[in-house]
Homo-oligomer: A and B are copies of this chain.
Amino acid sequence: MLPRTRYVVDGPKTLPEMTWPEVATAREGTDLVLVGIGACEAHGRHLPLGVDTIAGIDGLRRIAVALEAQGIAAVPGPTIPFGVSPDYMSFPGTITLRPSTLLTVLREVCGCLAHHGFRKIVLFLTHDGNLGIMQAAAQEVTADGLARVLVLNPLPVVREQYPRILRSKGREGHAGEGETSRFLVSQPELAHLDRAVVWQPERAPAAPWDVPIHFGGAVFDPPLDLRTHAPDGSIGDPALATPETGEKLWSIITEFSCQMIRRHFLEA
């Protein structure tokens, strides 16, 4: 029997939801476009594989709304639904692209946006495994003179606030209390908190800077198979998640993103 779902999508239109005249009008008002880079990978027993894609779409909407409130026009663009997730392949349903393939896709998507006159492109990260290729794409698109590109990685920014905001006192990571809380306000009908599993492995005290690059650290050591580190595909105590926490975390992400966009694209 096929599992069913029913949910509401609500907010400012993203580019694929617009008609071309709507894009044309928006483009006349701004040359700034936001692009999400998502994934299709296991997110515990309680969240769908498409969490990062849905978070990407929601993030673009939130950032655009927040910018608009500051008088800055920005178009929420497309979100890529696949990322670099080879370490999740032992979990059924995960789909991964080779890094070189994602690089090509990003280059062509940005090239099309630049063709339409979007000369300022924000690449918004929601899956850590995409960070390296997002940097490389920014370099290529810039070097080819197509557009200026700003990579935004909200992960370290928001994680820094976890101790202050989360209810959990243990380790919270992939599909844990933080990410689950954010998802509860992005698309709650697709979350199943009742299926959540607690998994908070002991962690040796970290040396200074011993944090992955995508979390603001200085090392990167991708696992061959995430299942050996997280048997259910999640880390933390997701059942502690609440929409209130989600809104708090999203507002940190949104504020950070707006601040960086202003600074890099408008003040510089």
Binding site for B on A (CB under 8 A): 1-13, 15-24, 26-27, 40, 42-50, 53, 64-65, 68, 73, 76, 78, 80-82, 84, 86-87, 89, 91-101, 103-105, 108-109, 112-113, 115-117, 129, 131-140, 142-143, 145, 148-157, 160, 190, 192, 195, 204, 207-210, 213, 216-224, 233, 256, 259-260, 263-264, 267
Contacts and interface: CB of A to CB of B under 8 A. Distances in A.
Given A89-B112, A204-B267, A99 B216 contact: no
A224 B86 contact: no
Given A17-B190, A97-B105, A223 B267 contact: no
A99 B11 contact: no
A20 to B, nearest CB: 4
Chain A contact residues: over half helix, strand or loop, or mixed?
Answer: mixed
Number of copies: 6
Contacts of A48: 13, 16-19
B19 A46 contact: yes
